[in-house]
Protein backbone atom coordinates (compact mmCIF):
# COMPACT_ATOMS: atom_id res chain seq x y z
CA UNK A 1 0.00 0.00 0.00
CA UNK A 2 1.41 3.40 -0.94
CA UNK A 3 1.64 6.26 1.55
CA UNK A 4 2.43 9.87 0.81
CA UNK A 5 5.16 11.61 2.81
CA UNK A 6 7.14 14.82 2.32
CA UNK A 7 10.85 15.51 2.02
CA UNK A 8 12.43 18.31 4.02
CA UNK A 9 12.28 20.28 0.77
CA UNK A 10 8.52 20.04 0.72
CA UNK A 11 8.34 17.72 -2.28
CA UNK A 12 5.72 15.02 -2.13
CA UNK A 13 7.47 11.65 -1.82
CA UNK A 14 5.78 8.29 -1.91
CA UNK A 15 6.58 5.44 0.47
CA UNK A 16 5.40 1.85 0.60
CA UNK A 17 4.23 0.16 3.75
CA UNK A 18 6.07 -2.99 4.81
CA UNK A 19 4.56 -6.03 6.53
CA UNK A 20 6.14 -4.80 9.78
CA UNK A 21 4.19 -1.53 9.50
CA UNK A 22 7.35 0.50 8.76
CA UNK A 23 7.50 2.64 5.61
CA UNK A 24 10.13 2.37 2.86
CA UNK A 25 10.61 5.49 0.69
CA UNK A 26 9.85 4.69 -2.95
CA UNK A 27 13.17 6.00 -4.28
CA UNK A 28 16.53 5.36 -2.64
CA UNK A 29 20.11 6.00 -3.70
CA UNK A 30 22.11 2.96 -4.82
CA UNK A 31 25.77 2.92 -3.80
CA UNK A 32 27.36 0.04 -5.69
CA UNK A 33 30.57 1.38 -7.27
CA UNK A 34 29.84 4.80 -5.82
CA UNK A 35 33.31 5.62 -4.56
CA UNK A 36 33.69 9.31 -5.19
CA UNK A 37 36.68 11.62 -5.50
CA UNK A 38 34.48 14.49 -4.27
CA UNK A 39 35.25 15.63 -0.70
CA UNK A 40 31.58 15.19 0.12
CA UNK A 41 30.21 11.74 -0.83
CA UNK A 42 27.13 11.88 -3.13
CA UNK A 43 25.05 10.31 -0.35
CA UNK A 44 25.40 13.57 1.63
CA UNK A 45 24.14 15.74 -1.24
CA UNK A 46 21.44 13.21 -2.04
CA UNK A 47 20.05 13.51 1.49
CA UNK A 48 20.65 17.20 2.18
CA UNK A 49 20.23 18.76 -1.28
CA UNK A 50 17.98 16.35 -3.16
CA UNK A 51 15.80 15.16 -0.28
CA UNK A 52 16.53 11.41 -0.49
CA UNK A 53 15.58 9.52 2.66
CA UNK A 54 16.52 6.02 1.53
CA UNK A 55 20.08 4.75 1.00
CA UNK A 56 20.97 1.27 -0.24
CA UNK A 57 24.41 -0.12 0.50
CA UNK A 58 26.17 -3.40 1.29
CA UNK A 59 29.27 -4.65 3.06
CA UNK A 60 30.51 -6.05 -0.25
CA UNK A 61 30.42 -2.63 -1.98
CA UNK A 62 33.37 -1.48 0.14
CA UNK A 63 31.85 2.00 0.54
CA UNK A 64 30.15 1.72 3.92
CA UNK A 65 32.66 3.98 5.69
CA UNK A 66 32.20 6.77 3.12
CA UNK A 67 28.43 6.27 3.14
CA UNK A 68 28.41 6.25 6.96
CA UNK A 69 30.37 9.48 7.13
CA UNK A 70 27.98 11.12 4.66
CA UNK A 71 24.92 9.97 6.63
CA UNK A 72 26.50 11.12 9.87
CA UNK A 73 27.21 14.55 8.39
CA UNK A 74 23.63 14.79 7.11
CA UNK A 75 22.36 13.99 10.60
CA UNK A 76 24.64 16.68 12.04
CA UNK A 77 23.26 19.06 9.42
CA UNK A 78 19.82 18.54 10.96
CA UNK A 79 18.33 15.49 9.21
CA UNK A 80 16.48 13.28 11.68
CA UNK A 81 17.92 9.73 11.76
CA UNK A 82 14.37 8.42 12.19
CA UNK A 83 13.40 9.94 8.83
CA UNK A 84 16.13 7.94 7.06
CA UNK A 85 15.80 4.40 5.72
CA UNK A 86 19.20 2.71 5.52
CA UNK A 87 19.65 -0.75 4.01
CA UNK A 88 22.73 -2.95 4.10
CA UNK A 89 23.38 -6.55 3.15
CA UNK A 90 24.96 -9.68 4.57
CA UNK A 91 27.66 -10.90 2.19
CA UNK A 92 28.01 -14.54 1.07
CA UNK A 93 31.18 -15.16 3.11
CA UNK A 94 29.14 -14.36 6.25
CA UNK A 95 26.26 -16.67 5.36
CA UNK A 96 26.72 -19.00 8.31
CA UNK A 97 24.81 -18.56 11.58
CA UNK A 98 27.79 -17.63 13.76
CA UNK A 99 28.93 -14.91 11.35
CA UNK A 100 25.63 -13.05 10.98
CA UNK A 101 25.78 -10.87 14.10
CA UNK A 102 29.50 -9.97 13.82
CA UNK A 103 28.91 -9.01 10.15
CA UNK A 104 25.97 -6.78 11.08
CA UNK A 105 27.95 -5.19 13.91
CA UNK A 106 30.80 -4.42 11.51
CA UNK A 107 28.37 -2.80 9.06
CA UNK A 108 26.87 -0.71 11.87
CA UNK A 109 30.36 0.44 12.93
CA UNK A 110 31.30 1.35 9.37
CA UNK A 111 28.01 3.14 8.82
CA UNK A 112 28.23 4.92 12.23
CA UNK A 113 24.70 3.79 13.03
CA UNK A 114 23.18 1.99 16.00
CA UNK A 115 20.50 0.26 13.94
CA UNK A 116 19.69 -0.51 10.30
CA UNK A 117 16.24 -0.08 8.81
CA UNK A 118 16.70 -3.14 6.63
CA UNK A 119 19.22 -5.98 6.54
CA UNK A 120 19.16 -8.27 3.51
CA UNK A 121 20.77 -11.56 2.58
CA UNK A 122 22.76 -10.33 -0.44
CA UNK A 123 22.81 -13.59 -2.42
CA UNK A 124 21.55 -17.00 -1.22
CA UNK A 125 24.94 -18.70 -1.67
CA UNK A 126 27.56 -19.33 0.98
CA UNK A 127 31.05 -18.54 -0.32
CA UNK A 128 34.32 -19.45 1.29
CA UNK A 129 36.23 -16.40 2.59
CA UNK A 130 38.39 -15.11 -0.27
CA UNK A 131 36.55 -17.17 -2.92
CA UNK A 132 37.82 -16.64 -6.48
CA UNK A 133 35.73 -15.11 -9.26
CA UNK A 134 34.63 -17.39 -10.88
CA UNK A 135 34.68 -19.74 -7.88
CA UNK A 136 37.18 -22.59 -7.67
CA UNK A 137 36.27 -26.06 -6.46
CA UNK A 138 35.11 -25.87 -2.83
CA UNK A 139 34.56 -22.08 -2.89
CA UNK A 140 30.75 -22.45 -2.81
CA UNK A 141 29.60 -24.09 0.43
CA UNK A 142 26.32 -25.32 1.90
CA UNK A 143 23.97 -22.50 2.95
CA UNK A 144 21.94 -23.17 6.07
CA UNK A 145 18.95 -20.93 5.33
CA UNK A 146 17.20 -21.76 8.59
CA UNK A 147 20.24 -21.16 10.80
CA UNK A 148 21.04 -17.84 9.10
CA UNK A 149 17.43 -16.64 9.16
CA UNK A 150 17.11 -17.41 12.91
CA UNK A 151 20.12 -15.15 13.51
CA UNK A 152 18.60 -12.42 11.31
CA UNK A 153 15.40 -12.70 13.37
CA UNK A 154 17.41 -12.25 16.59
CA UNK A 155 18.78 -8.98 15.20
CA UNK A 156 15.21 -7.71 14.86
CA UNK A 157 14.34 -8.86 18.39
CA UNK A 158 17.43 -7.05 19.70
CA UNK A 159 16.46 -3.82 17.87
CA UNK A 160 19.63 -3.83 15.79
CA UNK A 161 17.63 -3.97 12.56
CA UNK A 162 14.02 -2.98 12.00
CA UNK A 163 13.29 -5.23 9.04
CA UNK A 164 14.94 -8.22 7.40
CA UNK A 165 14.74 -9.55 3.89
CA UNK A 166 16.46 -11.19 0.97
CA UNK A 167 17.89 -10.47 -2.47
CA UNK A 168 18.26 -12.59 -5.57
CA UNK A 169 15.86 -15.31 -4.43
CA UNK A 170 13.92 -17.70 -6.65
CA UNK A 171 10.35 -18.94 -6.15
CA UNK A 172 11.82 -22.17 -4.76
CA UNK A 173 14.04 -20.42 -2.21
CA UNK A 174 11.29 -17.98 -1.23
CA UNK A 175 8.88 -20.83 -0.61
CA UNK A 176 11.46 -22.57 1.59
CA UNK A 177 12.04 -19.37 3.56
CA UNK A 178 8.32 -18.76 4.07
CA UNK A 179 8.05 -22.27 5.45
CA UNK A 180 10.62 -21.65 8.16
CA UNK A 181 10.40 -17.91 8.93
CA UNK A 182 9.13 -16.82 12.35
CA UNK A 183 9.63 -13.20 11.28
CA UNK A 184 8.58 -12.79 7.65
CA UNK A 185 10.94 -11.21 5.13
CA UNK A 186 9.62 -7.65 4.66
CA UNK A 187 11.50 -6.99 1.45
CA UNK A 188 12.76 -8.95 -1.51
CA UNK A 189 15.32 -6.98 -3.54
CA UNK A 190 15.67 -8.15 -7.13
CA UNK A 191 16.98 -6.94 -10.48
CA UNK A 192 13.98 -5.40 -12.25
CA UNK A 193 13.66 -2.99 -15.16
CA UNK A 194 11.81 -3.09 -18.49
CA UNK A 195 14.58 -5.35 -19.89
CA UNK A 196 14.09 -7.87 -17.04
CA UNK A 197 10.66 -7.64 -15.48
CA UNK A 198 10.80 -10.85 -13.48
CA UNK A 199 6.99 -10.86 -13.21
CA UNK A 200 6.87 -14.24 -11.48
CA UNK A 201 8.87 -13.09 -8.44
CA UNK A 202 6.94 -9.82 -8.25
CA UNK A 203 3.66 -11.74 -8.23
CA UNK A 204 4.88 -14.25 -5.62
CA UNK A 205 6.03 -11.45 -3.35
CA UNK A 206 2.79 -9.50 -3.75
CA UNK A 207 0.80 -12.62 -2.93
CA UNK A 208 2.71 -12.98 0.33
CA UNK A 209 2.66 -9.28 1.26
CA UNK A 210 6.41 -8.95 0.69
CA UNK A 211 7.51 -5.60 -0.69
CA UNK A 212 9.85 -5.65 -3.70
CA UNK A 213 12.72 -3.25 -4.25
CA UNK A 214 13.87 -3.10 -7.87
CA UNK A 215 17.65 -2.91 -8.24
CA UNK A 216 19.52 -1.78 -11.37
CA UNK A 217 16.39 0.12 -12.52
CA UNK A 218 18.36 1.84 -15.29
CA UNK A 219 19.80 -1.44 -16.54
CA UNK A 220 23.04 -1.06 -14.56
CA UNK A 221 24.58 0.53 -17.64
CA UNK A 222 28.24 0.13 -16.72
CA UNK A 223 27.86 -3.63 -16.63
CA UNK A 224 24.70 -4.33 -18.48
CA UNK A 225 22.01 -2.93 -20.65
CA UNK A 226 21.70 0.60 -21.92
CA UNK A 227 18.01 1.22 -21.28
CA UNK A 228 18.59 4.98 -21.26
CA UNK A 229 18.86 4.78 -25.06
CA UNK A 230 16.20 2.12 -25.58
CA UNK A 231 13.76 3.42 -28.26
CA UNK A 232 10.66 2.53 -26.22
CA UNK A 233 12.03 4.34 -23.16
CA UNK A 234 13.15 7.31 -25.25
CA UNK A 235 9.72 7.54 -26.90
CA UNK A 236 7.90 7.62 -23.53
CA UNK A 237 10.40 10.19 -22.22
CA UNK A 238 9.91 12.49 -25.20
CA UNK A 239 6.15 12.27 -24.89
CA UNK A 240 6.22 13.09 -21.17
CA UNK A 241 8.99 15.68 -21.45
CA UNK A 242 10.98 13.74 -18.86
CA UNK A 243 14.40 12.11 -19.04
CA UNK A 244 14.76 8.38 -19.85
CA UNK A 245 16.17 7.90 -16.32
CA UNK A 246 13.04 9.41 -14.79
CA UNK A 247 10.79 7.22 -16.94
CA UNK A 248 12.62 4.09 -15.78
CA UNK A 249 12.40 5.10 -12.10
CA UNK A 250 8.72 6.03 -12.47
CA UNK A 251 7.97 2.72 -14.23
CA UNK A 252 9.36 0.84 -11.23
CA UNK A 253 7.20 2.83 -8.79
CA UNK A 254 4.07 2.37 -10.90
CA UNK A 255 4.68 -1.38 -10.71
CA UNK A 256 4.42 -1.08 -6.93
CA UNK A 257 8.13 -1.49 -6.25
CA UNK A 258 10.54 0.86 -4.52
CA UNK A 259 13.72 1.40 -6.48
CA UNK A 260 17.33 2.44 -5.89
CA UNK A 261 18.96 4.11 -8.92
CA UNK A 262 22.66 4.78 -8.45
CA UNK A 263 24.41 7.92 -9.53
CA UNK A 264 27.41 9.86 -8.32
CA UNK A 265 26.33 13.01 -10.22
CA UNK A 266 24.18 15.44 -8.30
CA UNK A 267 22.22 16.56 -11.37
CA UNK A 268 21.20 12.95 -12.07
CA UNK A 269 20.62 12.23 -8.38
CA UNK A 270 18.17 15.14 -8.29
CA UNK A 271 16.59 14.13 -11.59
CA UNK A 272 16.03 10.51 -10.52
CA UNK A 273 13.89 11.46 -7.52
CA UNK A 274 11.67 13.95 -9.34
CA UNK A 275 9.16 11.29 -10.21
CA UNK A 276 6.25 11.90 -7.85
CA UNK A 277 4.27 14.69 -9.48
CA UNK A 278 3.43 12.88 -12.74
CA UNK A 279 2.55 9.45 -14.11
CA UNK A 280 3.36 7.30 -17.13
CA UNK A 281 0.04 6.90 -19.01
CA UNK A 282 -1.25 3.30 -19.18
CA UNK A 283 -0.49 2.92 -22.91
CA UNK A 284 3.18 3.84 -22.45
CA UNK A 285 3.43 1.88 -19.20
CA UNK A 286 2.23 -1.21 -21.07
CA UNK A 287 4.64 -0.55 -23.95
CA UNK A 288 7.46 -0.51 -21.38
CA UNK A 289 6.13 -3.80 -20.03
CA UNK A 290 6.56 -5.32 -23.49
CA UNK A 291 10.24 -4.47 -24.10
CA UNK A 292 11.61 -7.53 -25.93
CA UNK A 293 14.73 -9.58 -25.18
CA UNK A 294 14.05 -10.12 -21.47
CA UNK A 295 17.40 -10.89 -19.90
CA UNK A 296 19.10 -10.49 -16.54
CA UNK A 297 22.10 -8.24 -16.35
CA UNK A 298 23.29 -9.58 -13.00
CA UNK A 299 23.00 -13.31 -13.45
CA UNK A 300 25.55 -14.37 -10.82
CA UNK A 301 27.70 -16.26 -13.33
CA UNK A 302 30.96 -14.69 -12.34
CA UNK A 303 30.27 -15.11 -8.64
CA UNK A 304 28.81 -18.59 -8.35
CA UNK A 305 29.19 -20.66 -11.52
CA UNK A 306 31.98 -23.22 -11.83
CA UNK A 307 31.32 -25.11 -15.05
CA UNK A 308 33.41 -28.13 -14.13
CA UNK A 309 33.28 -28.45 -10.36
CA UNK A 310 29.87 -26.95 -9.46
CA UNK A 311 27.78 -27.09 -7.35
CA UNK A 312 26.35 -24.43 -9.73
CA UNK A 313 27.49 -25.41 -13.21
CA UNK A 314 25.38 -22.88 -15.10
CA UNK A 315 23.41 -19.67 -14.65
CA UNK A 316 20.25 -21.80 -14.85
CA UNK A 317 21.47 -23.68 -11.75
CA UNK A 318 21.91 -20.37 -9.91
CA UNK A 319 18.28 -19.46 -10.63
CA UNK A 320 16.86 -22.94 -9.92
CA UNK A 321 15.97 -23.39 -13.63
CA UNK A 322 13.00 -21.03 -13.22
CA UNK A 323 13.74 -18.47 -15.97
P1 LIG B 1 21.51 1.45 -12.13
O2 LIG B 1 20.53 0.73 -12.96
O3 LIG B 1 21.05 2.28 -11.00
O4 LIG B 1 22.39 2.32 -13.13
C5 LIG B 1 23.48 3.08 -12.68
C6 LIG B 1 24.15 3.69 -13.91
O7 LIG B 1 23.29 4.62 -14.54
C8 LIG B 1 25.42 4.43 -13.58
O9 LIG B 1 26.29 4.23 -14.68
C10 LIG B 1 24.97 5.89 -13.54
O11 LIG B 1 26.05 6.72 -13.87
C12 LIG B 1 23.90 5.92 -14.59
N13 LIG B 1 22.81 6.90 -14.33
C14 LIG B 1 22.23 7.20 -13.15
N15 LIG B 1 21.22 8.08 -13.32
C16 LIG B 1 21.16 8.35 -14.65
C17 LIG B 1 20.34 9.19 -15.44
N18 LIG B 1 19.35 9.91 -14.89
N19 LIG B 1 20.57 9.24 -16.78
C20 LIG B 1 21.56 8.49 -17.34
N21 LIG B 1 22.36 7.67 -16.64
C22 LIG B 1 22.18 7.60 -15.30
O23 LIG B 1 22.60 0.38 -11.68
P24 LIG B 1 23.11 -0.36 -10.39
O25 LIG B 1 23.49 -1.71 -10.86
O26 LIG B 1 24.08 0.46 -9.67
O27 LIG B 1 21.80 -0.57 -9.46
C28 LIG B 1 21.36 0.38 -8.53
C29 LIG B 1 21.64 -0.06 -7.10
O30 LIG B 1 20.98 -1.28 -6.80
C31 LIG B 1 23.11 -0.37 -6.79
O32 LIG B 1 23.91 0.78 -6.74
C33 LIG B 1 22.97 -1.14 -5.51
O34 LIG B 1 22.75 -0.26 -4.43
C35 LIG B 1 21.72 -1.99 -5.81
N36 LIG B 1 22.06 -3.33 -6.35
C37 LIG B 1 21.76 -4.44 -5.58
C38 LIG B 1 22.12 -5.68 -6.00
C39 LIG B 1 21.82 -6.88 -5.16
O40 LIG B 1 22.36 -7.98 -5.44
N41 LIG B 1 20.99 -6.77 -4.16
C42 LIG B 1 22.81 -5.92 -7.28
C43 LIG B 1 23.02 -4.70 -8.04
C44 LIG B 1 22.63 -3.47 -7.58
P45 LIG B 1 26.63 7.89 -12.91
O46 LIG B 1 26.88 7.33 -11.55
O47 LIG B 1 27.88 8.28 -13.63
O48 LIG B 1 25.58 8.97 -12.91
Question: Which of 262, 297, 300, 319 for a ligand 1 pocket mutation test, highest count of atoms within 8 Å of Cβ?
Answer: 262
Q: What is the pLDDT of residue 219?
A: 96
Beta-strand runs (E) in 54-111: 54-56, 85-90
Given a cut of 70, whether residue 92 has pLDDT beyond it is: yes
Q: Which of 218, 188, 213, 288 is nearest to 26 (CA)?
A: 213
Q: What is the pLDDT of residue 221?
A: 78
Ligand 1 binding pocket includes 53 (Cβ within 6 Å) = no
2 or 140, higher pLDDT: 140
Rounded to the nearest angstrom, the distance between the alpha carbon of 244 and the centre of ligand 1 is 14
Rounded to the nearest angstrom, the distance between the alpha carbon of 217 and the centre of ligand 1 is 7
User: Strand, coil or helix: what is 126?
Assistant: strand
What's the mean pLDDT in 100-127?
Answer: 98
Q: What is the pLDDT of residue 53?
A: 97
Ligand 1 binding pocket includes 203 (Cβ within 6 Å) = no
Given a cut of 70, whether residue 156 has pLDDT beyond it is: yes
Q: What is the pLDDT of residue 6?
A: 65
Ligand 1 binding pocket includes 271 (Cβ within 6 Å) = yes
Question: Which of 33, 66, 165, 218 for a ligand 1 pocket mutation test, highest count of atoms within 8 Å of Cβ?
Answer: 218
Query: Contact at 8 Å (CB) between 249 and 272?
Result: yes
Cross-sheet strand order for the sheet of 85-90: 29-30, 54-56, 85-90, 116-121, 161-167, 187-191, 211-215, 258-259
Q: What is the pLDDT of residue 36?
A: 78
What's the mean pLDDT in 5-17?
Answer: 76
Given a cut of 60, whether residue 8 has pLDDT beyond it is: no
Q: What is the pLDDT of residue 10?
A: 66
Q: What is the pLDDT of residue 4?
A: 60
- Distance, in Å, from the CA atom of 122 to the CA atom of 120, rounded to the nearest integer, reads 6
Query: Contact at 8 Å (CB) between 194 and 227?
Result: yes
Strands 12-17 and 23-25: antiparallel
Q: What is the DSSP letter of 179?
A: H
Ligand 1 binding pocket includes 298 (Cβ within 6 Å) = yes
Ligand 1 binding pocket includes 272 (Cβ within 6 Å) = yes
What's the mean pLDDT in 207-222?
Answer: 95
Which atom in ligand 1 lies closest to the alpha carbon of residue 272? 18
Q: Which of 220, 236, 227 is nearest to 292 (CA)?
A: 227
State the CB neighbour count (10 A cutoff) for residue 22. 16
Q: What is the pLDDT of residue 304?
A: 96
Ligand 1 binding pocket includes 222 (Cβ within 6 Å) = yes
pTM greater than 0.95 (yes/no):
yes
Which positions are annotated as active-site residues?
Answer: 61
Ligand 1 binding pocket includes 27 (Cβ within 6 Å) = no
pLDDT band with cut points at 50, 70 and 90 for residue 3: low
Over the chain, what is the mean pLDDT?
95
What's the mean pLDDT in 166-193?
Answer: 98
pLDDT per residue as tens digits for the range 41-58: 999 999 999 999 999 999
Q: Is 122 annotated as a binding residue?
A: yes
Q: What is the pLDDT of residue 28?
A: 98
ipTM: 0.99
What single string gives the DSSP state of each residue in 234-283?
HHHHHHHT--HHHHHHHHHHHTT-EE--B-S-HHHHHHHH--SS----HH
For atom 46 of ligand 1, the residue with the nearest CA is: 263
pLDDT band with cut points at 50, 70 and 90 for residue 39: confident
For atom 26 of ligand 1, the residue with the nearest CA is: 262
For atom 48 of ligand 1, the residue with the nearest CA is: 263
Which atom in ligand 1 lies closest to the alpha carbon of residue 215? 30
Amino acid sequence: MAQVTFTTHGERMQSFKLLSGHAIPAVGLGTWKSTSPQAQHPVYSAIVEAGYRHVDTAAEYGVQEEVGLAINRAIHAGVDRKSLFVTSKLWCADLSPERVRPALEKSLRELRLDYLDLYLIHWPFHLKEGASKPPKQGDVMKFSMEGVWREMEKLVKDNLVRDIGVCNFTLKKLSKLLGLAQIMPSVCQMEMHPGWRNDKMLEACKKNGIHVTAYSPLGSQDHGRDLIHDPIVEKAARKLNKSPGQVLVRWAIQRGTSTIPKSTHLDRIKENIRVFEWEIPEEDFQALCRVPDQKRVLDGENLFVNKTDGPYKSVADVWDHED
